[in-house]
Structure 1
Amino acid sequence: MSQCLNPDCLHINPEGCNFCQKCGSKLRLVERYYAKSILGQGGFGRTFLAVDDFKPSKPPCVIKQFLPQAQGTATLEKAAQLFDQEAQRLELLGKHSQIPELLAYFTADNRQYLIQEFIEGDTLQQELDNQGAFTENQIISLLKDLLPVLYFVHKHKVIHRDIKPENIIRRASDNKLVIVDFGASKQVQRTSMSVAGTVIGSAEYCAPEQAMGKPQYGSDLYSLGVTCLYLLTQVSPSYLYDPLESQWVWREHLNGNQVSDKLGEILERLVETVFKKRYQSVAEVWADLQRYYGKQIIIKNPKNIIPNTAKKITNTTPPAVTQKFEFDIVTVNSKGREINRRRGQAECIIEDLGNGVTLEMVLIPGGTFTMGAPSGEAGSSYAERPQHRVTIKPFLMGKYPVTQAQWRQVASFPKLQRDLSLDPSYFKGLNLPVEKVFWYDVMEWCDRLSKRIGKPYRLPSEAEWEYAARAGTTSPFHVGDTLTTDLANYDGNHTYSSGPKGAYREQTTPVGQFQHANAFGLYDIHGNVWEWCADPWHDSYNGAPSDGRVWDVGNDNRYQLRIAINSSRIAINSLGKTERRVLRGGSWYDYPDNCRCAYRYGADPDFLFYNNGFRVAL
């Protein structure tokens, strides 16, 4: 069956029709999406259950059609603006595994549409209707599941403004709670937090300040608290508050449902009508939840399940957000022509570094690979041999090289051993990779990050770096037999194999600018900046460990490297003994053969040049 999208028709058509049998309208949006049935209707339009006809599995999706019922130019413009903002916010937030992903946004037949991930499952309202009032344990589980999601939303400076049971779905595939309907949400600007605006949100769940047009982050916490009270009592929130006494009377409506004083205290503070007395952040709620229920609350990390005590959580932010993300994986032939493109998926955790700066760490699965280059690989050398098998345990690695924004934020943390410049880079830009950093400075940076986050952040071992860079491939580059400047940032005046010449940008590029990753989900592996590793330099792999650890014995540090810049390239001079360290990946300044997965370079840890950066491991 195909549902006509013409708002004046909405005829149900038999399967296989391309045009509505009643009004003649096209049934497929952008020749790809077609509606199956109406899911719901609100003030700004309709929502349809739909199918993505472009994908072989014909997966379900959701079509949101902008169709405001209000009249008047100003009202329509405001509604259109809100719909457009919802698309922008979904693109920003939708990569979180518990927020629907935005799949497309476009205009067709003079109407706005957005296509969104379909979440199969029941809303909490449906659960309440089917199963009755929630127990205390169910409410604790709900808070544990939703608070990290809400933290993620607020971290991106968004207020949802319509948290309620109908907008929370328990996903059937994994029982995770998913927050939906960001149409009422608001992007927060620091200069406008106290400015009155349009009142949006469901009245029964709406915080007093939001009802006055001044929503705050705490307004979402209020709505979450009211949602919990409703689920515990199955009584409309309108009857749970006594306006004459200015107090909540929800306990009178529990009807035998048992709620402890501990949970009651948390709920009372969530729904406090005086804003200053209410929880001001997700972190505060989480701290109390841990303080009262620390032994019952567990947080998944990429390897196992770790119990968290109140002591661990009270003085830190909520747990790192875990999310899945998708990306393009590209393969080219020896001439640089694309021969394959496919979608990949990986999982990452997002650490909050403060001031809106985050760090994305990708889960790298364990495995065994062949490290080094065969003798027949163009540009390879004795230093990349003998090839040997190495087994790597699962670990986390930075999705991108560390940026200048990330460097600045962590470098502002209290000093441990060394002073750090807040702005060491030659090329300036918060989203550009940091460069001109000593190996010793990088180690200090990792130590500061570890102390602040409470996890042992470090540089990757050389074996971990190559394993992660290859991502299961055996070719010189993870993209195939050559490299092009459409895929990486290097000196495009020079070629590898039969590949074409290309751009020489003469500087770093923003991380993630090249819209593809390797099969593990890592970006900017080839070129842009050299990446420091933890290992001392060895002239070959003779005697190298097979377990992926840092090879810190038997160094071949016979030479100290110094840099002399001439008109064309770097000249390396041998000037004495030092503890050289390994760099990997090549840079914007290098020929493509230096950007190969197997290429190794050893440098003085005090080597300072504007193409040396790093990414972290955990």
Structure 2
Amino acid sequence: MSQCLNPDCLHINPEGCNFCQKCGSKLRLVERYYAKSILGQGGFGRTFLAVDDFKPSKPPCVIKQFLPQAQGTATLEKAAQLFDQEAQRLELLGKHSQIPELLAYFTADNRQYLIQEFIEGDTLQQELDNQGAFTENQIISLLKDLLPVLYFVHKHKVIHRDIKPENIIRRASDNKLVLVDFGAAKQVHSTSMSVTGTVIGSAEYCAPEQAMGKPQYGSDLYSLGVTCLYLLTQVSPSDLYDPLESQWVWREHLNGNQVSDKLGKILERLVETVFKKRYQSVAEVWEDLRRYYGKSPNPTSPQTVIPETVKQTPNTTGKPVTQKFEFDIVTVNSKGREINRRRGQAECIIEDLGNGVTLEMVLIPGGTFTMGAPSGEAGSSYAERPQHRVTIKPFLMGKYPVTQAQWRQVASFPKLQRDLSLDPSRFKGLNLPVEQVSWYNVVEWCARLSKRIGKPYRLPSEAEWEYAARAGTTSPFHVGDTLTTDLANYDGNCTYSSGPKGAYRQQTTPVGQFQHANAFGLYDIHGNVWEWCADPWHDSYTGAPSDGTVWDSQDIYVDNLVKLWESALVALVGWVKRSETQLPSQPLSTGFL
């Protein structure tokens, strides 16, 4: 079945139809997504369960259609702004396994659409309706599962502003809690904490300061605490607070549900109405959970282990604090069919660039590999030979290509040698890779980054780049013997080996959009954009260093310059000698010499 997206029709059509049989509207958005059924409807519009027709597996996704019910020009403009804001926040946050991924955002038929990853499962509200009040262990598990997500959101300087049971889904595949609906989310700027803004959020779960238009990070913690009280009691939050006594009375509504004093203290501090008395950060909540329950209050549940990524312990070693992350590693055969998928794990450090922009640098282990391509490899050239063994020391490399948000933030740092455009790219988008930048601009960008952060950042050598890109593989691509447009962004009309033709998107795609990495944890190694290295161009690998360092340009340039001048002088002398025998006795002007 195909659901018509025309708000005045919504007719259900048989499978295979390209146009609605009732109103004639196109059923596929941008020739790619088609709706199957309505999932829900709210003040901003409708959500549809949909299918991505561009991918062979036809994976499910969610179409959010902007269709506000509000009236008045100012109200409609604000609603449109919030809808657009959700896309911006999701793009800014990037990828997190417990936040729906933004797949696309566009306008079609004069309506705004947002395409998101589909999360199959029940909301906590549905769980409450079906199973009854939550137990203490369930609440502890909830906190330990959601707080790392909230830490990630706040680290990117975003306040969700609408945490409630309806916006938390327990994913059916792994029972993980997923935080959804960032339509009310707010990005925090250096001055915005003290500026009164629009009041947004569900009233029953809204912190007092948020209700006054001044949301803080602690406002999300308040909403999370109220959510826990509601799940424990099944009583509306408005009935759990006594305004005459200015206190919460949730314990009176437990109906025999046992809650320990330890959890009670945590919940009471989460929902403290006086902001300064409330938890100020996720790290503070974690510390109390650790103090009251230890690392594993419920040894049978792996979800109860406190992740290292949110521990705010002093770093006295002088070494960067690392964060582990997991990813999928895909292998395909020569025809582009997936033959293996496994989970990988790597570590990265996160650099704070300011204004909510971060840079994730993956730790690449040292090792020895064979650099270059064998003579029989299709598409290879003499410049990639001879193959030679290279030993690489450990180093850091960006998890994704540099985004436009990252470029803009660093380019705004004080100039060192060259001016940098804040917006050089042809295709616009905060999470799209930066392009249209020269090697010299990139060197300046790295220099500004190094000076601001206090660590030496540079372009990788060609050997380091190839070592990191191969990640232990010897095939033409790190995914195998060919490439498909389900794995990378390139012109799908051009095939390699026996690989199939695919999509031609004709523009860059958001970094990390393809949900797999190489074995080192690096994304977008193939396709999307060309990437600069530090080395100058060489015609072959003859004489290349074996230690992975930059093939020093100075000696090469000097040698080439000397050879160039020598050949030019030889040619000049030959021209003069020929001229002496061919020209009349009256000499020509010596200005050429």
Q: CA deviation at 1:164?
A: 0.2
Aligned-partner Cα distance in 2 for 1:299–1:361: 33
Q: After the TM superposition, which of the residue ranges 118-127 and 381-390 deviates more from structure 2?
A: 381-390
Deviation at 1:359, TM superposition (A): 4.2
CA contact (8 A) 1:97 1:323 kept: no
The CA distance in 2 between the partners of 1:508 and 1:47, in whole Å, is 27
Q: Is the 8 A contact 1:298 1:308 kept in 2?
A: no
Deviation at 1:175, TM superposition (A): 1.2
Alpha-carbon distance in structure 2 between the residues aligned to 1:85 and 1:440: 34
Which structure features the higher share of strand residues?
1
Q: 1:376 to 1:356 in 2, by over 3 A?
A: same
CA apart distance, 1:474: 3.8
How well do the aligned residues superpose, as a CA RMSD in angstroms?
9.9
Q: Is the 8 A contact 1:363 1:397 kept in 2?
A: yes
Is the 8 Å Cα contact of residues 437 and 613 (structure 1) preserved in structure 2? no
Answer whether contact 1:148 1:319 (CA < 8 A) is retained: no
Structure 1 residue 283: Cα displacement: 1.9
Distance 1:280 1:421, change over 3 A: farther
TM-aligned CA deviation for residue 218 of structure 1? 1.2
324-333 vs 159-168, which moves further: 324-333
| CA positional deviation for 1:82 | 1.0
Query: For the structure 1 residues 25 and 350, does the alpha-carbon distance in structure 2 shift closer, same or farther, using more than 3 Å as the test?
Result: same
| CA deviation after TM superposition for structure 1 residue 390, in Å | 10
Tell me which moved more, 61-70 or 541-550: 541-550
Cα distance in 1, alignment partners of residues 313 and 465 from structure 2: 31
Which of 365-374 and 508-517 deviates more? 508-517
Distance 1:84 1:343, change over 3 A: farther
Change (3 A) 1:535 1:333: same
**Larger deviation: 394-403 or 327-336?**
327-336
Moved more, 433-442 or 468-477: 433-442
Partners of 1:519 and 1:506 in 2: CA distance? 28
Say which is worse superposed, 294-303 or 133-142, in terms of deviation: 294-303
Aligned partners of 1:98 and 1:178 also within 8 Å: yes
Check whether the contact 1:123–1:167 (CA below 8 A) recurs between aligned residues. Answer: yes
Q: Does the CA-based 8 Å contact 1:490-1:505 persist in structure 2? A: yes
Q: CA deviation at 1:154?
A: 1.5
Instruction: Please say which structure displays the higher CA radius of gyration.
Output: 2
- Residue 490 and residue 210 in structure 1: after superposition, are their counterparts in 2 closer, same or farther (change >3 A)? closer
2: CA distance, partners of 1:294 / 1:223: 25
Distance 1:397 1:544, change over 3 A: same
Q: Deviations over 1:267-317 (max 9, x none)?
A: 111101111111112222222222222321799999998987999848899
Aligned CA distance change for structure 1 residues 413 and 521 (closer, same or farther; 3 Å) = same
Q: What's the CA shift for 1:122?
A: 0.7
Q: 1:332 to 1:404 in 2, by over 3 A?
A: same
Q: What CA distance in whole angstroms lies between the structure 1 residues aligned with 2:591 and 2:463?
A: 18
Which residue in the other structure is 2:581 paired with?
Answer: none
Q: Give, in angstroms, the shift of residue 15 of structure 1.
A: 1.5
Alpha carbons of structure 1 residues 155 and 613: separation in structure 2 relative to 1, 3 Å = farther
Following the alignment from structure 2 to structure 1, what is the Cα–Cα distance between the partners of residues 135 and 316? 29
Deviation of the 1:133 alpha carbon:
1.4
User: What is the SS of the residue equivalent to 1:300?
Assistant: coil
> Any idea what SS the aligned residue of 2:397 has?
strand
How far has the Cα of 1:163 moved from its partner?
Answer: 0.2
Deviation at 1:470, TM superposition (A): 2.0
Structure 1 residues 494 and 58, CA, compared in 2 at 3 Å: closer, same or farther?
Answer: closer
- Which piece of structure 1 moves more, 541-550 or 516-525? 541-550
* Matched position secondary structure for 2:514: coil
The 8 Å contact of residues 299 and 308 in structure 1, kept in 2 or not, is answered as no
Cα deviation for residue 170 of structure 1 reads 0.8
Q: CA deviation at 1:476?
A: 9.0
Tell me the CA shift for residue 202 of structure 1.
0.8
Residue 393 (structure 1) shift: 14
Cα offsets for 1:76-100 (capped at 9, x unmatched): 1111111111111122225111111
Structure 2 counterpart SS, 1:515 = coil
Once residues 503 and 10 of structure 1 are traced to their aligned partners in structure 2, the CA distance between those partners, rounded to angstroms, is: 29
Question: Is 2:372–2:387's contact at 8 Å kept on the other side of the alignment?
Answer: yes
Residue 300 to residue 188, structure 1, CA distance change in 2 (3 Å): farther
The alignment's TM-score, normalised by the length of structure 2, stands at 0.64
Deviations 1:348-395 (A, max 9, x none): 675668874634244879999646777999999999999899999999
Normalising by structure 1, we get a TM-score of: 0.61
Q: What is the alpha-carbon distance in structure 2 between the residues aligned to residue 255 and residue 501 of structure 1?
A: 62
Q: 1:60 offset after TM fit, Å?
A: 0.8
Q: Would the aligned equivalents of 1:299 and 1:307 in 2 still touch at CA under 8 Å?
A: no
Deviations 1:97-134 (A, max 9, x none): 11111111111111111111100011111111122211
Indicate the residue corresponding to 1:100 in structure 2.
100
C-alpha spacing 1:374/1:80, structure 2 compared with 1 (3 Å): closer
Partner secondary structure for residue 103 of structure 2:
strand
2:157/2:355 contact within 8 Å kept: no
Of 475-484 and 276-285, the range deviating more from structure 2: 475-484
Conservation of the 8 A alpha-carbon contact between 2:297 and 2:304: no
Paired residues for 1:548-567 under 5 Å:
none
| CA pair 529-15 structure 1, distance change in 2 beyond 3 A | closer
Structure 1 residues without counterparts, runs of 5 or longer = 552-590, 595-610
Unaligned runs of 5+ residues in structure 2 are 552-556, 561-588
Q: CA deviation at 1:471?
A: 3.1
Identity of aligned residues (%): 93
In terms of fraction of residues, the more helix-rich structure is 2
How many Å separate the matches in 2 of 1:20 and 1:238?
45
| Per-residue Cα deviation, 1:560-599 (whole angstroms, up to 9, x for no partner) | xxxxxxxxxxxxxxxxxxxxxxxxxxxxxxx9999xxxxx
How far 1:181 sits from its partner (Å)? Answer: 0.6
Q: Tell me how far apart the structure 2 counterparts of residues 418 and 105 of structure 1 sit (CA, whole Å).
A: 35
Cα distance 1:592–1:181, how it changes in 2: closer, same or farther (>3 A)? farther
| Higher mean C-alpha deviation, range 358-367 or range 486-495 | 486-495
Tell me, yes or no, if structure 1 residue 454 matches structure 2 residue 420.
no
